[in-house]
Every structure is written in C-alpha cells, then in structure tokens.
Amino acid sequence: MAISLYDCSVKSFLQVLGAVGGFLEKGRAHLVEAGKDPEAMVGTRLHDDMLPFAFQIASVAHHSKGAIEGAKAGVFSPPGPFGQPTYADLQKWVADAKAALEALTPEEVNALEGKDMVFQLGSMQMPFLAEGFLLSFSTPNLHFHATTAYDILRQAGVPLGKRDYMGGMRLKK
C-alpha cells in the first residue's frame, strides 16, 4: 500500500497537535496546582536569544494548519505578529489548528502533490513542490517548535515525559 501526502502530513500534524494540546493542558494544571500563574509562561524562553513560549506555540499552529494553507495558496511566510496572548489563547491556537486539519479531506491534500510553491521571507524566496515543503520544511519546523515548547514547560517543572510528547500514535487496529 502506498502512503499518501495526507497520511504523511495531516495525520502526522494531528498527532503533534494532539500532543501539544495535551502537554499545554497538563502544564496549566500543574502550574495552577503549584500556585504559579500560567500567564507567566507565555513569555518564558529557554535562552535569551530564543523566542518565547508563545512564539513556539504559534509556530506549531503555523507549521501544521498554516503549512497546508500555504501549500494551497502557493506561498508560505513566517507567522506575523500576534500581540500579547494569554495561556488560554495558546491552547485555542492549537485546538483551532487541529479542528481545521480535521476538516480536510485526503483528496484535497493529496491533490497538492506536485504543486509549485515558495517559502518567502522578505525578498528571499525558496522554491518547493508542495510535498517537499510539507515534508522537508514544515514537518521539521513543527517538531522543533513543539519540542522547544515541551522543553520550556519541563524547565518550569511540569512533569512531562516522552509519552506526553509522542501523542496518540497510529496503532494497528
């Protein structure tokens, strides 16, 4: 059986979004129980030269739902400014991205295969085919930002483990 672009992208993106949604909730619950304000996490960074927790979560949504939207439109750019989000906003971004991806059909995603698109950052453009973009650009970015968000929560003492990061695996039925 051949594997489809939908299986490689959307199903994998949904697994990551489910995991991120889960560890965001676990993080919120832990912080509240420990008497800490979850809002303090929103601007937390692993290191001074890294972007904050809110950006990591925005990027998770952007490199999943936004990646498919970019492949459809033929152009993808980094996420724009998003103001001063709350912890609940971060959770909503993940839930909204998940809902948008769940609404896609395999046919509409598989139809993107072979479509030209570009990653654009200012005047710099990187040409891709949709499948190359989704699998070699957005997927690694999605994992990088999900991992960084996970690490920020771990650094704050949230008791997360590998299983929290893995999310719901596609087990044989």
pLDDT in tens, 104-125: 999 999 999 999 999 999 999 9
Residue 72: partners with Cβ closer than 8 Å, 6 or more residues away: 112
pLDDT at residue 1 in the model:
55
* pLDDT one-digit tens code per residue, 72-94: 999 999 988 888 999 999 999 99
Tell me what pLDDT residue 80 has. 81
Q: Token match 């692993």: residue?
A: 46
E strands in the chain: 75-76, 116-121, 124-129
Tokens standing for residue 49: 């030269």
Q: What is the mean predicted confidence (pLDDT) over 22-34? A: 97
Q: Determine the pLDDT at residue 170.
A: 87
Q: Which of helix, strand or coil describes residue 18?
A: helix
Gap between the Cα atoms of 164 and 75, Å rounded: 32
| HEC readout, 51-120 | CCHHHHHHHHHHCCHHHHHHHHHCEECCCCCCCCCCHHHHHHHHHHHHHHHHCCCHHHHHCCCCCEEEEE
The sign of the dihedral angle between the CA atoms of 164, 48, 38, 12 is negative
